[in-house]
Amino acid sequence: MRTKRTAGLLEAAPWPATEDHTTILALESGIMANTPDPIGAPGGALEIEESEPKVEEPPRYNVVLLNDDYTPMEFVVGVLERFFGMDREQAVRVMLHVHTRGKGVCGTFSREIAETKVSKVNQFSREHQHPLLCTMEHA
Ligand code: TYC
């Protein structure tokens, strides 16, 4: 919610805040010299509007492994260790989850890191002639 320091003239400005989160309204200043004053308040002062910083977290992505009927369990465990830094116990747990539930999350990353993981895992699986598939979805 944006607030402004000067009371009164405009309650909800429809334009976006500037990058430093301050909108200067040149209503009475003479900057808009040929523009009739829409409100009629005299004085010529600049109105300073302050707004909340609009900093959003970058989106995150789950890297997901899909089950199939042919890829050996040992190969999947190896993939989880090699590309997702899991220890053996964790890798076996995730592999069995994928095996029984159909898919499972290997990790959550920025878009670029997730894309790279997916690409490397799928290339590695192809190189070893396994149909194992890795994909990503919005977290
Ligand atoms: N279902 C496979 C099998 O029975 C094992 C497997 C687990 C394959 C996880 C893919 O993502 C996977 N050999």
* Any atom of ligand 1 within 6 Å of the Cβ of 65: yes
Confidence of residue 43 (pLDDT cuts 50, 70, 90): low
| Residues 8-37, mean pLDDT to the nearest whole number | 36
SS3 127: helix
Q: Is 102 in the pocket of ligand 1 (CB under 6 A)?
A: no
99 lines ligand 1 (CB under 6 A): yes
What the block records as the tokens of 133 is 């598939």
In this prediction, residue 119 carries a pLDDT of: 99
Q: Centre a 10 Å sphere on the Cβ of residue 103 and count the other Cβ atoms it contains.
A: 14
| φ, ψ of residue 40 in degrees (nearest 5) | 95, 5
pTM over 0.85: no
Pocket test for ligand 1, best of 82, 84, 95 (most atoms within 8 A of CB): 95
Determine the distance separating the centroid of ligand 1 and the alpha carbon of 77, expressed in angstroms. Answer: 9
DSSP-based three-state secondary structure for 109:
strand
Nearest atom, ligand 1, residue 66 CA:
11
Instruction: Express each pLDDT in 72-124 by its tens digit.
Output: 999 999 999 999 999 999 999 999 999 999 999 999 999 999 999 999 999 99
Atom of ligand 1 nearest to the CA of 73: 5
72 lines ligand 1 (CB under 6 A): yes
CA distance 88 to 71: 18
Answer for the pair 1, 12: CB distance below 8 angstroms, yes or no: no
Residue 61 has pLDDT above 90, yes or no: yes
